[in-house]
Amino acid sequence: MLSEETVVLDQSVSNSSPDSRSPQLDLSQIRNRFPILSREIHGHPLAFLDNASTTQKPDSVIQAMVDFFQQSNSNVSRGVYTLAEEATENYEEARKTVAKLLNAVSEDEVIFTSGTTAAVNLVAQSWASQQLKAGDRILVTEMEHHSNLVPWQQLCKQLGIELDYWTIDREGCLDLEELNQLLSENTKLVAMTAISNVLGSINPVGEVVKRAHSIGAAVFVDAAQAVARMPIDVQKWDCDFLAFSGHKLYGPTGIGVLWVKQEQMQKMSPWQTGGGMISKVDRQESHWASGPAKFEAGTPPVAQAAGLTAAIDFILETGFDSITRHETELTQICLDKLQSETDVEIYGPTSMESRAGVVAFNLRGVHPHDVAQVLNESGIAVRAGHHCTQVLHSKLGLQASVRLSVGVYNTEEEILRLVTSLQHVRDLLK
């Protein structure tokens, strides 16, 4: 469990109880903005409860991409004609919007990638492969998604580096006392998720950064789950790298972000080379462009950038206070209901104090895939499997789990429908 001191020091990452002063969402107005929510599945209204996997898209995101293709479609940073200028403007606007979302010092700290996975690989190859050497250590947590684990494993093999694990406690939280023992002068990087995609645990990023920096280690933050659930301030966290995917933020697939602190970006050399990332090419030598372009070889996801801008605008207009309040209330209802079922095992923190809107569970005696399949018969979309966290599942003594994850458009009725439908699962399979 987090110490009280930590909660006080790092309030930006605490959910606490729903703040009754936060404005309540106008749910019907929000739901009307998501065309897919009017779908029926097997004769039931769709209850999309797999938001940790990907989120649905509001009308403004869809329209922004349609508008781009219908009005401004062109490549970026190359042409001098009107469409090319508009496409470039649109792409650079997205960079500014991301900088605003993260409170970055400058948009020059924002590199576009294809997603979180690509961002982790970029840091591994462009920064870590140059900065780390045999004998150094990388620290990850046991709850990392494979995206923030496998690239580090590969790098460790390549360079002869040790990979250390920060274990989770019985509640699925990280113990800062243990961190002090794990950090050594050889630790050069801590790679951690801000929110677990299975346990829902909210991790004390700011405090980790302080401790890691005090021994000279850099910190990479996987914000894939956090970005749509809590305000992120990279200056406040003071981390070195932070990544997220557009599609988990009500935006399109195919675009993600790697934010890099300027002093670290100066140490990075390009991983992928080619067009768009050079300043000059001679027959035998090439010179790199400055700023983020150096890491964006080839044609970037231009239409997706338009969608990402619209998605961030949607989130900021809706407001994190309201989003957090809504998701916390729904998750609390879900936990209360599931905890009262004697054959349901829930993983992760029991209190919403350190948990976001993700709930992994198992119905004793029924395979998670069967649970998800029967729920689908009632129009309920949840995920079953290891959720790309096999190390975590092994630690929990599991092969797989069922996971529901709420988003801005989910309703109490959907949560209650899921709980009721579990009875249907029991009737059929137990």
| Sign of CA pseudo-dihedral 38, 44, 48, 50 | negative
Q: How far is the CB of 211 from ligand PLP (least distance, A)?
A: 21
Q: Residue 182: which H helix or E strand, with range? A: helix 176-182
If the CB atoms of residues 145 and 326 are measured against ligand PLP, the closer one turns out to be 145
Nearer to ligand PLP, 115 or 379 (CB): 115
DSSP alpha helix (H) spans, 266-367: 302-318, 320-339
Taking contact as CB under 6 A, which single stretch among the options 64-72, 157-165, 203-211, 221-229 is the one that binds ligand PLP? 221-229
For residue 157, how many other CB atoms are within 10 A of its CB?
10
Q: How far is the CB of 323 from ligand PLP (least distance, A)?
A: 17
Indicate whether 245 belongs to the interface with ligand PLP (CB under 6 A): yes
Query: Do the beta carbons of residue 195 and residue 357 sit within 8 Å?
Result: no
Cα gap 279→99, rounded to integer Å: 24
Site for ligand PLP in 84-123 (CB under 6 A): 115-117
If the CB atoms of residues 243 and 310 are measured against ligand PLP, the closer one turns out to be 243
Closest CA to 256 of 92, 55, 98: 98
Q: Which residue has the tokens 């469409």?
A: 83
Residues 183-212 touching ligand PLP, rule: CB under 6 A, are: 193, 197
Shortest Cβ 148–ligand PLP spacing (Å): 6
Q: How far is the CB of 242 from ligand PLP (least distance, A)?
A: 12
Give the range of 97-105, 143-151, 263-271, 335-343 binding ligand PLP by CB under 6 A: 143-151
Which residue number, 189 or 425, has a Cβ lying nearer to ligand PLP?
Answer: 189
The secondary structure of 252-281 as a DSSP string is: -TT-EEEEE-HHHHTT---SS-STTSEEEE
Give the nearer residue to ligand PLP in terms of CB position, either 118 or 380.
Answer: 118
Which of 323, 237, 302 has the alpha carbon at shortest distance from 95?
Answer: 302
Among 33, 57, 95, 145, binds ligand PLP (CB under 6 A): 145
Select the residue interacting with ligand PLP from 6, 125, 147, 304 (CB under 6 A). 147
Return d(Cα 106, Cα 375) in angstroms, integer. Answer: 45
388 is catalytic: yes
Give yes or no for a contact between 234 and 39, defined as CB atoms under 8 angstroms apart. Answer: no
The upper half-sphere exposure of residue 22, i.e. CA atoms within 13 Å in the direction of its Cβ, equals 20
Taking CB under 6 A as the binding criterion, the range among 145-153, 213-221, 313-321, 347-355 that sits at the site for ligand PLP is 145-153
Smallest separation, CB 386 to ligand PLP (Å):
12
- Rounded to a whole number of angstroms, the minimum distance from the CB of residue 63 to ligand PLP is 23
How many CB atoms within 10 Å of residue 181?
A: 9
DSSP-derived secondary structure letter, 168:
B
Q: Which residues are designated catalytic? A: 388
Binding site for ligand PLP (CB under 6 A): 52-53, 115-117, 145, 147-148, 193, 197, 222, 224-225, 245
